[in-house]
Amino acid sequence: MAQVVVRLYRPDDAPAAVAFFGEAAGLDPTLQAVTPDGWDQYCNMSFNAGARDFAIAERDGALAGVLMSYGGVWQDAAFRHFRIVVHPHHRRQGVGTRLLRLVEAQDDPPTTRLQSNLIGTWTAGQAFARKECFRIVRSQIFMTRVGPAPDAVPVPEGFTLRAYRGPEDDADWTRLTLEGYGGTPDFSGITQDDLDSYRSGQGFGLCFAERDGDVCGLCHTMDWQDEGPCINSVVVTAKARGCGLGKALTAAGMRAALGDEGTKISLNVVSDNEPALAIYRGLGFETTDESVTWQKPR
Ligand SMILES: CC(C)(COP(=O)(O)OP(=O)(O)OC[C@H]1O[C@@H](n2cnc3c(N)ncnc32)[C@H](O)[C@@H]1OP(=O)(O)O)[C@@H](O)C(=O)NCCC(=O)NCCS
């Protein structure tokens, strides 16, 4: 039986780790290769603390698995977030399990929960997590629409749409964001700094709906890294729901974001948000991927 040795990651493992991900992605198309710079940047992101808690599994001297792991605090509770990748040639030999045992021992006292984000195509990862008694706490769908801007959708009677006017609208922007997203488990609040940064960011677009002078809906769009425009938020206040305002607002936001030239727009949405999904599907968005958060309370 081949011997598996687990040890902490060292900075001089970087070239071998990059080669590992490249090879693994060549054999398993659901994985992604990394560049040396991309790996270095990832290891040095503040939460990863220079890959301090990362680990390597070797099987008979060959690099068989990599653990990426960091601890954090959310709503006053400590958690540990991790990802394990086992080389396709070394799977089903207990390597993933050995790395998970290390994750479990990384905090003293133990954190309240362990968690991992698994993309939908990682079927082995889902089976592994299920066997280890993790459960799904949340899932998000990534959607994209390719094509010219949609036709305008008629605004329901009694409502008008208008563009953001400037800081005088910030109180309404904050109020609607809290109403729309305040209850989601990973919502961490919205500050004036957040609004200022959105406003000065690439591709900023914000459209409001009003009825009798009351702001009762919004659609906020922005550019997402190099991916082009995305819909960041759509909110309709409880009293104004159910009459088609969300669809009219979303279409208006898309038209402004795409203009005459744009062809691709994306978004992500919590997967049980049926009203939002109906709007997005109705406007031509299609699901491209899913990310599922698994957790194990301790
Ligand atoms: C998920 C992954 C890390 C598992 O690594 P591994 O070393 O093969 O896992 P182990 O050998 O320790 O498997 C432990 C148990 O998990 C379950 N399991 C693992 N892979 C499975 C698969 N392909 N199908 C069904 N069950 C599976 C089994 O119950 C297995 O026990 P068994 O082999 O005795 O039946 C590996 O497949 C991988 O790297 N996948 C891509 C990345 C990923 O999904 N990472 C998620 C973990 S954060």
Answer whether residue 213 is part of any domain.
Answer: yes
Answer whether residue 284 is part of any domain.
Answer: yes
**158 and 91 within one domain:** no
Q: Assign 210 to helix, strand or coil.
A: strand
**213 and 184 within one domain:** yes
Mutation test of ligand 1: which of 6, 67, 68, 92 has the most ligand atoms closer than 8 Å to its C-beta? 92
Could you report the per-residue pLDDT of 177-229, keeping only the tens digit for each?
Answer: 999 988 765 565 688 888 988 898 889 999 999 999 999 999 999 987 667 89
Could you report the per-residue pLDDT of 134-160, keeping only the tens digit for each?
Answer: 999 889 999 999 999 999 999 999 999
* Cα 269 to averaged position of ligand 1 atoms, centre (Å): 28
Q: How many domains does the chain have?
A: 2
Closest residue by Cα to atom 1, ligand 1, is 125
* Cα 86 to averaged position of ligand 1 atoms, centre (Å): 8
Answer whether residue 210 is part of any domain.
Answer: yes
**245 and 279 within one domain:** yes
Answer whether residue 94 is part of any domain.
Answer: yes
**Nearest atom within ligand 1 for CA of residue 116:** 48
> In sequence order, what DSSP letters do the residues of 185-208 get, joined into one string?
TT-----HHHHHHHHHSTT-EEEE
Alpha-carbon torsion (195, 196, 202, 208), positive or negative: positive
**122 and 168 within one domain:** no
Of 70, 100, 133, which residue sits at a domain end? Answer: 133
Q: Is the pLDDT of residue 282 over 60?
A: yes
Answer whether residue 92 is part of any domain.
Answer: yes
**150 and 103 within one domain:** no
**290 and 147 within one domain:** yes
Of 88, 108, 133, which residue sits at a domain end? Answer: 133
- Surface-to-core class of residue 29, CB atoms within 10 Å of its CB (0-12 exposed, 13-18 middle, 19+ buried): exposed
**147 and 129 within one domain:** no
**What is the domain range of residue 242?**
143-294
**278 and 179 within one domain:** yes
Answer whether residue 263 is part of any domain.
Answer: yes
Give me the residue label for tokens 């993933």: 96
**150 and 102 within one domain:** no
Answer whether residue 268 is part of any domain.
Answer: yes
Q: For residue 250, what are the contacts with CB-CB under 8 A and spacing of at least 6?
A: 153, 219, 231, 234, 279, 280, 283
Answer whether residue 138 is part of any domain.
Answer: no
* Cα 122 to averaged position of ligand 1 atoms, centre (Å): 10
* Cα 125 to averaged position of ligand 1 atoms, centre (Å): 6
Cα gap 258→267, rounded to integer Å: 14
**148 and 126 within one domain:** no
**205 and 174 within one domain:** yes
Could you report the per-residue pLDDT of 227-281, keeping only the tens digit for each?
Answer: 789 999 999 999 999 999 999 999 999 999 999 999 999 999 999 899 999 999 9
Dig out the tokens for 178 from the structure. Answer: 């809290």
pTM: 0.72
Determine contact, residues 25/31, Cβ cutoff 8 Å: yes
**289 and 147 within one domain:** yes
What is residue 125's predicted lDDT score, i.e. its pLDDT? Answer: 96
CATH, residue 73: 3.40.630.30
